Amino acid sequence: MSLFVHYLSLPYLIQGIWFTVMVTALGLGGGLILGLVLAWMQLSRFSVLAAFARGYTVIFRGTPLILQMVFAYDALPQIGLKLSAVGAAGLALAANEAPFIAEMLRAGVLGVDRGQVLAGQALGMTPALLMRRIIAPQAIRTMIPAFGNETVSALKNSSLASVISVEELTLRSTQLASSTFDFFSIFFASGLIYLALTTAVSVIQLFVERALDLDRPTAQGRLAIFLPWRRADLAGGLTLAEQTSVPAIAPQNPPPDELPPPSRRATSRLDRAKHAAMVERNNVAVEVSDLRKNYGGQTVLNGLDLTVRVGEVVALLGPSGSGKSTLLRCINHLEDWDSGMVRVGGRRLGHRDDGKPLSPRAIAHERASVGVGMVFQQFNLFSHLSAKENVAGPLRWVHGMTRVDADRRARELLERVGLSHRADALPRHLSGGQQQRVAIARALAPNPSVLLLDEPTSALDPELVGEVLEVIRRLAVDDGLTMIIATHQIRFADEVADRVAFLSGGSILEEGPAHEILTNPSHPVTQRFLSVMEGDDAPESAA
Ligand SMILES: Nc1ncnc2c1ncn2[C@@H]1O[C@H](COP(=O)(O)OP(=O)(O)OP(=O)(O)O)[C@@H](O)[C@H]1O
């Protein structure tokens, strides 16, 4: 026992730790940089880069690290690259770790909900901005456990550096044992030192995981100063003390969601008819002509034409799979199409005037300047940001608003959708209806010229549908916003829409004044569709 304690504190062994840590740090640091490059290459649009990265991965993941170390130490000098033993071991470890780290990074990036990426694009975020503000913060959080594992594995793998005479812990233990023959005590002491190092890594991993856990309010507050995507919350009006006291879950008796009273403008059908007649004279807001889109062999949009005027509310109805969502995504150029043209505010979104496609970055800038807001079926709120940050963040990042102005606008809009009291809640602490109202506030924040709503209530429980429809109704009636709404809510369409377009098989079968189409459809497919809906949601027929 005393010998064991003696070896545990022997400077010769302790100094070996320094080499072990150095090789590990070089391997992990280099592996992280190289892994980032490999992950970027694999995710890139250029297939040559992706193929090169895959080839690298196959070679370095498929050959033993020990051979890579020997190669780095003995073969590289042949081509004039002479490295120290520690340098060669660090380089080989980095080259070996890189493909594993790249896969981890790729899994983290691909694991971020695609809906949030779409929402960011719809808000006019460039690919780089999306990566920095939306994808990376979420991916990093999910990658911590895997990165902890990788660190432990790199630490243990560093022992292979002994084959190229790096005087790390394993080599020194072996040397000591061969001179003293006290194998058991020396290797037991050395094993215990490795265990202490890997335990330290696990403790750090645990600390970082807890610190990044958004559900722990204390951590949120403390760590926010180091995290760019959380710093915003602090500066948004809450002091650090207030921030740390924000409850992780909704308070027991939260104040009820209250929408401000609507304007006195009536929502009667007669008013809607007058409104429809009035917008007839307005400029064209959205023009879709002869739009065609296929997914593989399936035709989803089949030469579709649609014109929407400023201030008009158009409801898209039609059976499931008729192409409503695809049409909305094309209008915002979240989806490319095969032929035809889409103009928003007179501009060909996504294309130059000569018809050539724009780069993703240029499309993002154009989306932001043309102003097409989008509300999705699944809300697609940024799950790592509070309700207020979901609204204020894009205003700062995309539209260059100051923090004070963006926060003020976010608060105004949250108040308008009756959620000012939940401004600091994370999306997962809100009900579906509340999340959709935040999503509407977020889409409205940059004052879009057109708002596209893709079945905004179909993911909601029936008792939550009403609150979201009320918010949309107010936007249509009080604010006169130009809207295109894909919906299955027939009664709602009758109340708020000026016009209904009925889609089937990727084209518009029938369109016209909402009440007329809904109560007296002329096409047999529309008649059949409305009669199926009749039981629960059909409008009262005209008197
Ligand atoms: N990314 C995709 N890849 C392949 N097919 C797709 C894709 N997106 C949609 N589709 C297909 O395109 C067709 C139209 O889909 P879309 O979502 O536009 O219909 P919808 O009218 O909005 O339906 P719903 O009312 O059910 O939402 C469907 O048959 C769907 O399976």
Domain ranges of the chain: 1-213, 269-371+448-536
Number of H helices, E strands in the chain: 23, 9
Contact yes or no for 217/245 (Cβ under 8 A): yes
Q: Which atom of ligand 1 is nearest to the CA of 296?
A: 4
pLDDT value at residue 539: 57
Ligand 1 nearest-atom number relative to CA 329 = 18
| Beta-carbon contacts of residue 398 (< 8 Å; ≥ 6 apart) | 123, 124, 125, 129, 368, 446
Residue type, 17: I
Please tell me the residue having the least CA distance from ligand 1 atom 12.
Answer: 300
Would you say residue 160 has pLDDT above 70?
Answer: yes
Options 3.40.50.300, 1.10.3720.10, 3.40.50.620, 3.40.605.10; CATH of 1-213: 1.10.3720.10
Atom of ligand 1 nearest to the CA of 326: 18
What CA–CA distance (Å, rounded) separates 52 from 54? 5
Query: What residues contact 391, with CB distance under 8 A and at least 6 apart?
Result: 409, 410, 413, 414, 438, 441, 442, 445
- Read off the tokens for 57: 């991965």
CA 323 to ligand 1: nearest atom: 18
Nearest CA to ligand 1 atom 7: 295
For 56-109, what is each residue's pLDDT tens digit? 999 998 999 999 999 999 999 999 889 999 999 999 999 999 999 999 999 999
CA dist., res. 464 & res. 476, Å (int): 19
Inter-residue contact 289 to 269 (CB < 8 Å)? no
Q: Which of 519, 523, 527 is nearest to 509 (CA)?
A: 523
- Could you tell me the two tokens for 529? 């569709």
Residue to mutate, 304, 326, 455, ligand 1, most ligand atoms under 8 Å from C-beta: 326
Q: What's the pLDDT score for residue 73?
A: 93
| Contact by Cβ (8 Å): 374, 443 | yes
3-state secondary structure at position 322: coil
pLDDT at 354: 75
Tell me what ipTM this predicted complex has: 0.95
Q: Which of 114, 322, 336, 504 for mutating ligand 1's site (highest number of atoms within 8 Å of CB)?
A: 322
- Give the pLDDT score at 227: 54
Ligand 1 centroid, distance to 322 Cα (angstroms): 7
Which residues make Cβ contacts (< 8 Å) with residue 65, sequence separation at least 6? 92, 93, 96, 157, 160
- Token look-up 């000591």 returns 176
How far is residue 153's CA from residue 151's CA, in Å, rounded to a whole number? 5
Which residues does ligand 1 sit against, CB inside 6 Å? Answer: 295, 300, 318, 320-326, 455, 486
Confidence of residue 22 (pLDDT cuts 50, 70, 90): very high
Class of domain 269-371+448-536: alpha beta
Give, as one character, the DSSP assignment of residue 234: H
* pLDDT value of position 245: 39
| 54 close to 39: Cβ distance less than 8 angstroms | no
Cα(143) to centroid of ligand 1, in Å? 32
Q: Are 514 and 498 in contact (CB under 8 A)?
A: yes
- Cα separation, 55 vs 263, in Å, equals 64
